[in-house]
Structure 1
């Protein structure tokens, strides 16, 4: 059955490309945060271990929400490490940095994801896709808030 939600196919595909980048950033940030949860050490261990767990759980749910929005637009969502690696702007961390560097990297990651969200909102607005703009606005606010909370640990 053909999709008829009031957004042209070309516009849905454009928005889905932006959402795919947001999905890749979200998933990459999820993986990094989960790794840091497992591997954090130092005097801040207990608080960071718990904070990272809360954050990676939120990111896991967010990835599903973003992927399902892509499917709502009748476009297939990326779902492999290689696809995410090509789409994401978040740098992979193969090592285990000390806790302050973990926090720095997560601040940077959330700021990158916030910037990706802003670009996605612009594309959604241009396409008249209020559903995507609304969902991504929530993601933007969450990334900005998480970056602020993490940044506060470093002051």
Structure 2
């Protein structure tokens, strides 16, 4: 008896569509990992008269990123694929660039805004791809992230003005 193969994932989506989403989510995961480590470094190294305010804000950012990293990886797994899990892969895939030894408040915040822009662009691509294949789980995840981060971009840009 021949082995029956299915074109659907365990959650009922087409495998080829899920592969595209899994790849985009892995790209998002890589960008979040670099954003996370950058914001963690800013938290550790910030100096100046805004130290207390930004030290706390950067901690909020990396803590939130850590949660999102886990959610994104779990979504990749839910779609039936393996999340990226090495820094060499993250650095190769990420559009958010690694930042080293920055302690100036305005420079740190500018890197945060730039990182959010990269992440938001990818999230919008994931949202569009998820909507095209009726993947409500991924769509809902991305819509929440986008709404939250657009507000963060506005707030951090307000700091820079």
TM-score, normalised to structure 2's length?
0.91
Judge conservation of contact 2:45–2:101 (CA < 8 Å) in 1.
Answer: no
Is the Cα–Cα contact under 8 Å of residues 38 and 98 in structure 2 kept in the other structure? yes
Say if 2:133 is the partner of 1:109. Answer: no
- Rg comparison, structure with higher value: 2
Q: Name 2:33's counterpart in structure 1.
A: 27
For 1:52 and 1:128, the matched residues in 2 are separated by 35
**Structure 2 portions without partners, runs of 5+:** 1-5
**2:89 equivalent among 69, 72, 83:** 83
- Whole-Å separation in 2 of the counterparts to 1:147 and 1:132: 22
- 1:98 correspondence with 2:107: no
Equivalents in 1 of 2:77, 2:91: separation in Å?
Answer: 20
Alpha-carbon shift at residue 95 of structure 1 (Å) = 2.5
1:39 is aligned to 45
Question: Alignment RMSD, CA only?
Answer: 1.2
Q: Which region of structure 1 is more displaced relative to structure 2, 91-100 or 27-36?
A: 91-100
Contact preservation (8 Å) 1:107, 1:150: yes
Instruction: Give aligned pairs, total.
Output: 154
Which deviates more from structure 2 when the two are superposed, residues 120-129 or residues 56-65?
Answer: 120-129
Match of 2:125 in 1: 119
**Structure 1 gap segments, 5+ residues each:** none
Partner of 1:6: 12
- Structure with bigger RCO (C-alpha 8 Å, 6+ apart): 1
Matches within 5 A, 1:43-54: 43-54=49-60
| TM-score, with length taken from structure 1 | 0.95
Hey, what's the Cα distance between the residues in 2 that align with 1:30 and 1:66? 13
Contact kept? 2:46, 2:55, Cα under 8 Å: yes
Contact 1:25–1:89 (8 Å) recurs in 2: yes
Q: Compute the displacement of 1:124 (Å).
A: 0.8
Q: Which runs of 4+ in 1 moved over 3 A?
A: none
